[in-house]
């Protein structure tokens, strides 16, 4: 007998205490839950297997790469905007000190108006730059589309030529013999093309 405690028996199978049986009940409950989760004694059911396979791990390398690229671009854009703001501030003349007592408030108001005008001008110039860039992009896009259309038209023409040539080459007479007229013409054209 131990000091301050009652005699506790241990089960022969598990080696655990039997007095309250609390650990044993917990283990049985865990085993029961695991069996239900795994679909009974026969192993995984088809449904639980599908759920286990379709679990979202939230690990998608392509998505992570896209997000990283997005944040990187956002950082570059914010740096660019910051540098534009700094350049604007350097271009605006800075008035040192306060106006003297003899000067009235109208000069200060004029300075504010001039500053507003300059900021409007810089906004206009930024807008003009944006419009120019957009026009260039539109021109480049239209040129690309024109090139693509030309290529498509050329491809369609060559396909039509090949199709008509194929039809001529596979023409047959009533008795099932190939029509030699078109084949000889084709041979003649190829010979003339190679000699010239």
How confident is the model over 123-178, as pLDDT tens digits?
A: 788 888 889 999 999 999 999 999 999 999 999 999 999 999 899 889 999 999 99
Give the span between the Cα atoms of 31 and 87, in whole angstroms: 70
pLDDT at 1: 46
Q: Does residue 110 lie within any of the structural domains?
A: no
178 three-class SS: strand
pLDDT at 20 over 80: no
Q: Supply the mean pLDDT for the chain.
A: 78
For 39-104, where are the alpha helices, taking DSSP H only? 46-53, 61-91
What is the dihedral sign for C-alpha 144, 146, 152, 155? negative
Q: Does residue 113 lie within any of the structural domains?
A: no
Q: Does residue 169 lie within any of the structural domains?
A: no
Q: Does residue 78 lie within any of the structural domains?
A: no
Among 47-61, 95-109, 111-125, whose mean pLDDT is lowest? 95-109
Segment holding 192, helix H or strand E = helix 180-195
Mean pLDDT across 92-120? 57
Residue 38, domain extent: 22-48
pLDDT at 116: 65
Total structural domains in the chain? 1
Q: Does residue 31 lie within any of the structural domains?
A: yes
């Amino acid at each position: 007998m131990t000091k301050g405690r009652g005699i506790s028996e241990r089960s022969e199978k598990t080696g655990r205490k039997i007095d309250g049986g609390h650990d044993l009940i917990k283990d049985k409950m865990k085993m029961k839950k695991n069996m239900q989760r795994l679909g009974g004694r026969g192993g995984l059911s088809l449904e639980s297997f599908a759920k286990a396979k379709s679990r979202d791990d939230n690990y998608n390398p392509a998505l992570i790469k896209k997000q990283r690229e997005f944040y990187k671009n956002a950082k570059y854009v914010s740096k660019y905007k910051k540098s534009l703001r700094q350049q604007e501030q350097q271009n605006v003349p800075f008035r040192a000190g306060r106006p003297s007592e003899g000067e009235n408030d109208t000069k200060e108001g004029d300075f504010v108006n001039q500053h507003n005008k300059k900021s409007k001008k810089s906004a206009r110039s930024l807008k003009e730059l944006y419009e120019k860039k957009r026009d260039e992009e539109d021109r480049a896009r239209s040129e690309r589309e024109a090139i693509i259309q030309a290529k498509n038209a050329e491809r369609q023409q060559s396909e039509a030529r090949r199709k008509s040539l194929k039809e001529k080459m596979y023409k047959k007479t009533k008795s099932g013999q190939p029509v030699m007229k078109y084949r000889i013409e084709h041979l003649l054209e190829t010979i003339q093309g190679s000699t010239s």
